[in-house]
Amino acid sequence: MGNLLFHLAAFLLLLGVLVVVHEFGHFWVARRCGVKVLRFSVGFGRVLWRRRYGADQTELTLCAIPLGGYVQMLDGRELEEGETIPEEDLPRAFDQQGVGRRSAIVAAGPAANFLLAILIYWLMFMIGGNALRPVLGAPPEDTPAAAAGIQDGDRVLSVAGETVTTLEDFHLRLLRQASQQPSVALEVMDARQLTRHVHLETGRLNEAGWEGEPFALLGLRLYQPPLLPVVGEVLAGLPGEAAGLRPNDRVLEIDGVEVTRWQQFVERVSGSPEKPLSMLIERAGERLTLTVTPKREGKIGRVGVGSSAEANNFPDLYVFARHNPVDAAFRAAREAWSQSALMLTMMGKMLAGEVSWRALSGPVAIAEYAGKTAKMGTEVYLKFMAVVSLCLGIFNLLPIPVLDGGHLMYHALEVVKGSPLSENAMLRWQKVGISVLVTLMAFAFFNDLSRLLPPLFSG
């Protein structure tokens, strides 16, 4: 229950920030254009909290259904039968503004989401921090990475001629190139500091409809250095603590067999549920023998200890990067552009049938990732927020009626036609837009549930 509440809290915080930023974009530009704002709402449905603000007595509300929000402006098209706008307020009605001002107000919501993402990236680039280098592990046989000649410990230096310094850079650049061409040129450096060029075939992603983990499909793995069998965290109430294992204990032997790597320790423990194991350990220069009986969990054994981060510190696998404000701004804009371009490419491929619709995620998946990234730290969570903010901005710009992009489409038609669309035409298109959104939501929820409950959706 605690884990579920944590994921829910992380999701609501993420959604709350993005909704407030999006709607504030509409609100701020509307106020700058002189339009009267009646309500700024976070959420839909029953009002949980309200307050009136400013000379216009704009109503700020928090509603029960947190999946979105809206800004209600004075608009003659939304009046009840028999109602009229006071003459002094008529110039401040949204529908009385020129098409340029109306378009600016509509576009301001998605623009605010783009600006939020750039701001997050800008702060991250200025603050700096350690990031994993793009060092690859040995690929499985019969995979594109194996066919390309990727070797254990290869570090990627560039993707299609573009330099990459972090694993995140490598992932983004590779996905962008793979979405455009069937083969991607990589420059790599092996453990002997020798560089070479390889060509990674990425056609398998299209064959799979981009469904699943793309790097696993290509056979790309993160390099796993050999971990020393030194105990780190010892969980309370599990066999490791009961047997007397302590942090910094080094496991030398299990049942008389030498142990030199942490993976050997894990394999022996997991393969011995409810079987007593005699462990020779070294503690502060002394050798001790302990008997540990792994607890059965499913088909494997578990003793409740983790490897020591201090004993297994590999500084060569990390790079620290920090940039001045100007350089960080350029990098942030480029990062936002790259992410947006990749999203648009994937959307196009989905519409063309080249990417499976099962790749579409909904609020359940977002909530899951929000919780996971929040547990990984503030930096990872904020970067996830930036990606979702970009996705929200792009989605709202799609030319679907009822979305911001649909309203911009109306405005473009108004410019071409020389007059606004009729109310009947707009109502018909709104029904189409609602149908499209409901269909997309249904697909997204189905995909979310099929990931969480695969037995129910497998033949």
Q: Indicate which residues carry an active-site annotation.
A: 23
Q: How far is residue 388's CA from residue 390's CA, in Å, rounded to a whole number?
A: 5
| Residue 312 CB neighbour total at 10 angstroms | 15
Helix (H) or strand (E) holding 29: helix 2-32
Q: How far is residue 162's CA from residue 171's CA, in Å, rounded to a whole number?
A: 12
The region, left, alpha or beta by phi > 0 then psi within -120 to 50, assigned to residue 82 is left
Which of 340, 306, 148 lies closest to 233, judged by CA?
306
State both tokens at 342. Answer: 């990749």
In whole angstroms, how large is the CA radius of gyration of the chain? Answer: 28
Convert 14-42 to b/e letters by CB count within 10 Å (16 or more is b).
bbeebbbbbbbbbbebbbebebbbebbbb
Q: How far is residue 223's CA from residue 225's CA, in Å, rounded to a whole number?
A: 6
Q: How far is residue 165's CA from residue 440's CA, in Å, rounded to a whole number?
A: 37
Q: How far is residue 253's CA from residue 290's CA, in Å, rounded to a whole number?
A: 11
Pairing of strands 162-163, 129-132: unpaired
- What letter does residue 445 receive in the DSSP assignment? H
State both tokens at 293. Answer: 């009986």
Q: Are 88 and 67 in contact (CB under 8 A)?
A: no
- Residue 43 phi, psi dihedral angles, 5° rounding: 95, 175
- What letter does residue 152 receive in the DSSP assignment? T
- Residues 6 or more apart in contact with residue 168 via CB below 8 angstroms: 131, 132
Determine the 3-state secondary structure of 295 from DSSP.
strand
Which of 293, 242, 282 lies closest to 260, judged by CA?
282
Determine the 3-state secondary structure of 110 from DSSP.
helix
User: Sheet harboring 250-254: ordered strands across?
Assistant: 257-258, 250-254, 277-283, 286-292
The region, left, alpha or beta by phi > 0 then psi within -120 to 50, assigned to residue 341 is alpha
Q: How far is residue 152's CA from residue 146's CA, in Å, rounded to a whole number?
A: 10
